[in-house]
Structure 1
Amino acid sequence: MAGKILITGGTGLIGTRLSEMLIDLGYEVAHLSRNNGKQSHYQTFKWDIENNYIEEKALTYTDYIINLAGAGVADGKWTDKRKHEIRDSRVHGTNLLIEQLKKTSHHVKGFISASAVGIYGNSGERLVAEESSSAENDFLADVCRDWETAANQARNLNIRTVIFRIGIVLSKEGGALPQLAKPIKLMVGAPLGSGRQYISWIHLDDMCRLLIAALEDHQFQGVYNAVAPHPVTNEEFTHQLAEVLHKPLTGLKVPAFGLKLMLGEMSETVLGGSRVSANKVLQTGFTYEYNYLEEALESFYVKEA
């Protein structure tokens, strides 16, 4: 069922790979971007979140919107300015899309939006599912709540709406994995803080396959956790990554106070974590290519070893 897909955040980690996979499947892909896209392989429409502008042709062009835009959470210390960027790029961007859809004569059949497992805050050992309550007084949880509220407005326009609470996306091209692998490759790898905090991860290709499944399978509606079925603790993650890279660990742990000094408030994202259930996705019949961390890591690093 090929169609026309408009992606926000199309040049990000997920958007780049997703665009390639959609093209391979025969879809037409366009990006919504702040830049004119002259260097892009894809048709590019302009938007400007600060000035509430979206090129009208973007919304009359598309059959489905995949909304992935958002400033990188780990791209720097959380100054007040940075926190506004993280929030506005997600919440204002999504609100702008919905407002423009209300005003435009369009044929959009589906609105698929990103959110994040950060909505659960630091849930410790407890396994959290989509109906679990979100964390209170937690910056990322607040952002995710408002982001989902904005995306859910698409339902009032009779557009099938799917929200994915995305875990740590594993890829060699960017995101958390190269950062976690770097100290291990330098022989200074160690778990962070207690090491007991959970990492709910998903392989980049499974993430993209899940977004495509949500386009094509109309049973997808509402909120889903986009995580692999077997989350691991930070300590397990560090040990498995060291094994795949054939590198020893120091036998120490990176102390929490050091991370707090270095990262400030952002340290909460590495010292805390959530153990997130994939059951709702599994119940749709979706099959993961990478169920276990070891096979996911091997897909990136075995050729190197």
Structure 2
Amino acid sequence: MSKTVLITGGTGMIGRHLTTLLLKKGYQVSYLSRKKETIPHVQVYRWDIAKGFIEEEALAKADYLIHLAGAGIADQRWTPERKQEIIASRTQSIELIARHLQGRPYKLKSFVSSSATGFYGANTGDVHLTEETRSGTDFLAHVTRSWENASELISNVGIRTVKLRVGVVLSMDGGALPKIILPIRWGIGSPLGNGKQWISWIHIEDLCNMYIEALENEQWKGIYNAVAPAPVTNEEFTRQIAKALKRQLWAPNVPSFALKLLFGQMADVVLGSNFVINQKISQATNFQYTFKSVEEAFKDLL
């Protein structure tokens, strides 16, 4: 009998790709969703975080749980209200699940939660960051710290818990990449800021395979930096996109002040530098990457 993976945030970019891989591997997939909808090959259950409601059958039938739900970091300007929504969407959902799991004989074998490399702070320069590095002090660090602390509630119920600190996800189905490549495709692309800020990235295929490995492999516990082995500068990142698209880069760099005027505090997302090392995945697991270099990733995606 096939195992069932319950996913929160399943209709997002990562969730959709992950669902395809899980179905190919013979898993049954179900979603927790705010509205009852019909999705091919997926059982959709309702939940209402504000009212503390989850359809009982969702957790009762699940063998594994993946938590991807959360309001988009870069979808809107960071007003005080939006900041609160970003945090609450990640933490209250886990708190609700934890309450429903307590004292009930569910068969959940593991829980995998998204986190983010923002845990270390939006801008950490050239410092090499491992899973042991302390958290930053800015808003992104606060979000991910709260997210990870909430995940411990599931661990406290006695379920093996894995937290993946996800870097910049490369996909043509959403996220930052489609927006980044547009000006380059039009022939007016250029690096952002001084171009020297580090980008710790991962191809969506590798990321989703990482989620599945974390589900299946009982040796995986705790926190892992979910990034490719080789971070690149914004300048190199932009150059490799142009190379894959067979375009020239001639425009001057987009100045930092212009990005700050346009995005406000949210400009930290594109101007910040993070050199994140996948130390635990490379040293403590047998996980095999398909796309180790950004050149390979863009050749596949573009």
Residues 76 and 40 from structure 1, CA distance in 2 versus in 1: closer, same or farther, beyond 3 angstroms?
A: farther
Show structure 1 runs of 4+ deviating over 4 A: none
One-letter identity of the residue aligned with 2:129: V
Q: Does 1:50 align with 2:43?
A: no
- Would the aligned equivalents of 1:224 and 1:280 in 2 still touch at CA under 8 Å? yes
CA drift at 1:278: 1.0
Q: Does 1:123 align with 2:100?
A: no
- Would the aligned equivalents of 1:59 and 1:104 in 2 still touch at CA under 8 Å? no
* Equivalent position SS for 2:98: helix
Name the residue aligned to 1:218. Answer: 218
CA drift at 1:2: 4.4
Distance in 2 between residues matched to 1:215 and 1:271, nearest whole Å: 33
One-letter identity of the residue aligned with 1:212: I
How many residues align structurally? 300
Q: CA RMSD in A?
A: 1.2
* Equivalent position SS for 2:29: strand
One-letter identity of the residue aligned with 2:300: S
Distance in 1 between residues matched to 2:6 and 2:167, nearest whole Å: 23
TM-score by length of 1: 0.96
Residues 41 and 85 from structure 1, CA distance in 2 versus in 1: closer, same or farther, beyond 3 angstroms?
A: farther
One-letter identity of the residue aligned with 1:124: G
Q: Does 1:229 align with 2:229?
A: yes
Distance in 2 between residues matched to 1:178 and 1:195, nearest whole Å: 19
CA drift at 1:61: 0.9
- Would the aligned equivalents of 2:188 and 2:251 in 1 still touch at CA under 8 Å? no
**Higher mean C-alpha displacement, 138-147 vs 81-90:** 81-90
Name the residue aligned to 2:175. Answer: 175
Name the residue aligned to 1:164. Answer: 164
Name the residue aligned to 1:24. Answer: 24
Name the residue aligned to 2:82. Answer: 82
Distance in 2 between residues matched to 1:48 and 1:105, nearest whole Å: 22
Name the residue aligned to 1:299. Answer: 300
Q: Equivalent pairs: percent with the same residue?
A: 48
Query: 5 Å matches for 1:1-305?
Result: 2-121=2-121, 122-136=123-137, 138-283=138-283, 284-301=285-302
Distance in 1 between residues matched to 2:99 and 2:199, nearest whole Å: 35
TM-score by length of 2: 0.97
- Would the aligned equivalents of 1:230 and 1:291 in 2 still touch at CA under 8 Å? yes
One-letter identity of the residue aligned with 1:259: L
Q: Where do 5+ consecutive residues of structure 2 fail to align?
A: none
Q: What is the CA deviation profile of residues 165-191 of structure 1, one whole-angstrom value per residue up to 9, with x for unaligned ones? A: 000110011101101101111111111
- Would the aligned equivalents of 2:131 and 2:279 in 1 still touch at CA under 8 Å? no
**Higher mean C-alpha displacement, 61-70 vs 92-101:** 92-101
Q: What is the CA deviation profile of residues 251-299 of structure 1, one whole-angstrom value per residue up to 9, with x for unaligned ones? A: 4110111000100110011110211001211220101000000000000
- Would the aligned equivalents of 2:115 and 2:166 in 1 still touch at CA under 8 Å? yes
Residues 2 and 226 from structure 1, CA distance in 2 versus in 1: closer, same or farther, beyond 3 angstroms?
A: farther
Q: Where do 5+ consecutive residues of structure 1 fail to align?
A: none
Distance in 2 between residues matched to 1:51 and 1:194, nearest whole Å: 47
CA drift at 1:105: 3.0
* Equivalent position SS for 2:102: helix
- Would the aligned equivalents of 1:56 and 1:104 in 2 still touch at CA under 8 Å? no
- Would the aligned equivalents of 1:37 and 1:43 in 2 still touch at CA under 8 Å? no
CA drift at 1:215: 1.2
Distance in 1 between residues matched to 2:40 and 2:89, nearest whole Å: 21
- Would the aligned equivalents of 2:170 and 2:204 in 1 still touch at CA under 8 Å? yes
Distance in 2 between residues matched to 1:286 and 1:84, nearest whole Å: 36
CA drift at 1:153: 1.7
Residues 2 and 108 from structure 1, CA distance in 2 versus in 1: closer, same or farther, beyond 3 angstroms?
A: same
